[in-house]
């Protein structure tokens, strides 16, 4: 009775070796697709960012010219400032609101249902969000009429007609879309907190805000890191909503860097400039990604 | 958790906030339902008439949303399916077949998602223009597949890690080829993970604007989101109900998918996909 087991083991070992030999064949399609359509373009963009290139003639080396322009050309500096506004706006408004909704709905009898209105906009595309909010923010439109009805000032404001107000209103639109997602993430975070210390805190008389500050907040740290990391990455990529609502205008008053990249490349044919903006965005995105990827990857290994 | 935590103040805050959140949706539905002649910019809050389906029809024909819808459905189904299979094969190679330097392979494949789309747009545009892939459905499917592969490989690697080694050894002893083991044992086991990836990536493809804008132009190839922006800029002033109806129409599939598969979305969120 010894022999079959031995053969079995030897067979398994043998097969493991064939497995290792054939393995690259299974991994190759993924690696090839990623190399060809993502890494190769990445390298080309990196090179082009140091050149003067219009897409037709050969690229001419120009050193850091394109990068210097990002910090001196008034339009691009404007886009940089707007992007910064987006980052600050999206790491505060949707995060704070998401946290509020999560804490209020967590443990609530109808929590799932009360959370639904906030989640609904998340299922809608950025383009549709732009269409809806472009409509809401029309001069004397839906928002203006509400302000007028309530007797508040601002009823006749052209919300999207001047910077930086137009950027702020578009941040509100994206907050509408993104708050629910953050709430969902915070709820996942809350669920991982053991119930006992919370109960104990209640018995000690810690209530409401105090309870939140001393018991929940410290334990929500990891998930907050993820939410903020994702918010930064998302805000840097802001394109769809702006493209639909203002196309970056009037003039360039509401352009973001992601939008400038598109315009420089495909409208103005300044490929080098577009590439430099893209690489800059990538570096900042990468730095922000490290924030949450570390957590995410270690989490994946644990499972 | 605690009974007292469903207090009236808490509920009131949530209801008021929730109503504010639903207001834009209300405005969308009410105004997308008005006839073009019956629409008055001064009374957007008041419902008036019900011409929603006429407006759907107008949006459908005016923006050629019909053609676009066929193309976008094709992209949203085919590309995620391909990505799921390619990603699963990579996960299988790394975890089950113990690919040499597997972790490096994994980092290489997953690293494809870290930089923003802006980084690959221009070379893709040039490359597509030179190779004849520009403005073709095949080209769109290829690019959407490539974008979806890293996430798919990431999830599948994690999933296969959780499967006992003995499953593979038993299958080998039973005399299965490596491809057959992949197809008839590992893929069927991964059903829920495959579905989760598929749903998330299909939503991503459906909602994409940037790649569609850059790599296509004709009505039969262009995906739905760029087509909607076209409708907005062409008919924005004159026929707002039509534009809003278009916005509602393109949102319905993802909203329904989302409501039907909420738990998949929350899982994807935790993985940091969107």
Assign A295 a pLDDT band (cuts: 50, 70, 90).
low
Interface probe with A: pick from B122, B147, B206, B260, most Cβ of A within 10 Å:
B122
User: How many Cβ atoms are within 10 Å of A71's Cβ, its own excluded?
Assistant: 10
Select from A5, A131, A273 the residue whose CB has the most chain B CBs within 10 Å, as the one to mutate to test that interface: A131
- How high is the pLDDT of residue A303? 33
Higher-confidence residue: A6 or B112? B112
| Residues B180, B184, B78, B136, Cα dihedral to 10° | 10
> Residue B195 half-sphere exposure, CB side, CA atoms within 13 Å?
11
pLDDT-derived band of residue A257, with 50, 70 and 90 as boundaries? very high
- Tell me what the mean pLDDT of segment A205-225 comes to: 77
CA distance A164 to chain B (A): 23
Give the β-pairing of A51-52 and A60-61: antiparallel
What pLDDT sits at residue B231?
83
DSSP B206-262: HH--HHHHHH--STTTS-HHHHHHHHHHHHTTTTHHHHHHHHHHHHHHHHHHHHHTH
Does residue B254 have a pLDDT over 60?
A: yes
A interface mutation test: which of B128, B204, B250, B272 has the most A CBs within 10 A?
Answer: B272
Q: Is the pLDDT of residue A92 over 50?
A: yes
CA dist A82 to A207, A248, A252, B193, Å? 40, 10, 10, 39
Closest A-chain CA to B239: A135
Count the alpha carbons within 13 Å of B190 in the hemisphere toward its beta carbon: 30
Q: What is the pLDDT of residue B149?
A: 96
* A–B interface: beta-carbon pairs under 8 A: 310
Residues A106-129: tens digit of each pLDDT = 888 888 889 999 999 988 999 999
Residue A215 has a pLDDT of 75
For chain B, the domains span: 3-51, 58-270
Is residue B72 classed exposed, middle or buried when 0-12, 13-18 and 19+ CB atoms within 10 A define those classes? buried
The token duo for B142 is 């290829």
B127 contacts on A by Cβ (under 8 Å): 41
Query: Average pLDDT of B207-231?
Result: 92
Tokens of A9: 């083991």
List the single residue in B28, B41, B274 with the smallest CB-CB distance to A132: B28
pLDDT of residue A175: 97
pLDDT in the model for residue B2: 43
Interface contact flag, B178 A22, Cβ < 8 Å: yes
Average pLDDT over residues B97-105: 91
| Residue A212: per-residue pLDDT | 73
Q: Is the pTM of this model over 0.95?
A: no
**Is CATH 3.30.365.10 what the domain over B58-270 is classified as, yes or no?**
no
What pLDDT, on the 0 to 100 scale, is given for residue B235? 65
């Amino acid at each position: 009775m010894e022999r079959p087991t031995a053969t079995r083991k030897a067979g398994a070992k043998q097969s493991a070796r064939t497995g290792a030999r054939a393995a690259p064949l299974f991994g190759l399609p993924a690696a090839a697709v990623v190399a060809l359509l993502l890494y190769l373009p990445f390298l080309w963009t990196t090179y082009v960012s140091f050149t003067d290139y219009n897409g037709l003639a050969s690229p001419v080396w120009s050193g850091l010219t394109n990068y210097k322009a990002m910090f001196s050309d008034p339009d691009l500096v404007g886009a940089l400032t707007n992007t910064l506004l987006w980052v600050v706006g999206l790491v505060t408004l949707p995060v704070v609101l998401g946290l509020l909704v999560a804490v209020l709905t967590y443990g609530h009898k109808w929590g799932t249902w009360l959370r639904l209105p906030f989640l609904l906009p998340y299922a809608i595309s950025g383009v549709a969000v732009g269409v809806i909010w472009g409509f809401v923010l029309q001069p004397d439109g839906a928002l203006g009429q509400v302000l007028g009805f309530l007797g508040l000032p601002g009823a006749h404001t052209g919300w999207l007609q001047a910077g930086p107000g137009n950027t702020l209103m578009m941040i509100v639109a994206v907050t509408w879309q993104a708050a629910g997602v953050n709430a969902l993430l915070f709820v996942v975070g809350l669920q991982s907190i053991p119930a006992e210390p919370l109960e104990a805190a209640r018995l000690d008389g810690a209530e409401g805000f105090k309870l939140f500050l001393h018991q929940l907040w410290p334990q929500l740290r990891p998930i907050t890191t993820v939410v903020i990391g994702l918010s930064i990455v998302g805000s840097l990529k802001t394109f769809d909503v702006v493209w639909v609502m203002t196309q970056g205008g009037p003039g360039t008053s509401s352009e973001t860097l992601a939008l400038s990249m598109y315009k420089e490349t495909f409208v103005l044919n300044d490929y080098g400039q577009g590439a430099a903006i893209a690489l800059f965005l990538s570096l900042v995105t990468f730095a922000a990604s490290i924030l949450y990827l570390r957590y995410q990857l270690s989490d994946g290994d644990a499972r | 958790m605690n009974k007292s935590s469903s207090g009236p103040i808490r509920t009131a805050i949530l209801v008021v906030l929730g109503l504010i959140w639903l207001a834009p949706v209300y405005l969308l539905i009410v105004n997308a339902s008005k006839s073009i002649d019956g629409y008055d910019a001064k009374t957007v809050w008041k419902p008036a008439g019900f011409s929603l389906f006429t407006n759907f029809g107008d949006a459908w024909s005016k923006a050629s949303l019909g053609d676009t819808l066929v193309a976008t459905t094709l992209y949203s189904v085919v590309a995620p399916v391909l990505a799921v299979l390619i990603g699963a094969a990579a996960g299988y190679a790394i975890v089950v077949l113990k690919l040499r330097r597997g972790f490096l392979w994994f980092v290489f494949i997953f690293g494809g998602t870290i930089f923003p789309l802006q980084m690959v747009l221009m070379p893709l545009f040039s490359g597509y223009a030179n190779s004849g892939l520009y403005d073709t459905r095949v080209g769109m499917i290829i690019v959407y597949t490539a974008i979806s592969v890293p996430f798919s490989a990431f999830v599948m690697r994690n999933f296969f890690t959780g499967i006992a080694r003995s499953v593979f050894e038993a299958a080998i002893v039973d005399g299965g080829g490596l491809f057959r083991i992949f197809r008839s044992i590992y893929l069927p086991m991964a059903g829920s993970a495959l579905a989760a990836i598929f749903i998330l990536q299909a939503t991503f493809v459906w909602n994409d604007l940037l790649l569609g804008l850059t790599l296509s132009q004709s009505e039969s190839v262009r995906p739905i989101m760029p087509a909607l922006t076209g409708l907005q800029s062409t008919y924005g002033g004159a026929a707002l109900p039509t534009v809003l109806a278009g916005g509602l129409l393109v949102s319905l599939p993802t909203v329904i998918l989302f409501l039907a598969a909420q738990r998949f979305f929350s899982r994807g969120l935790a993985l940091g996909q969107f």
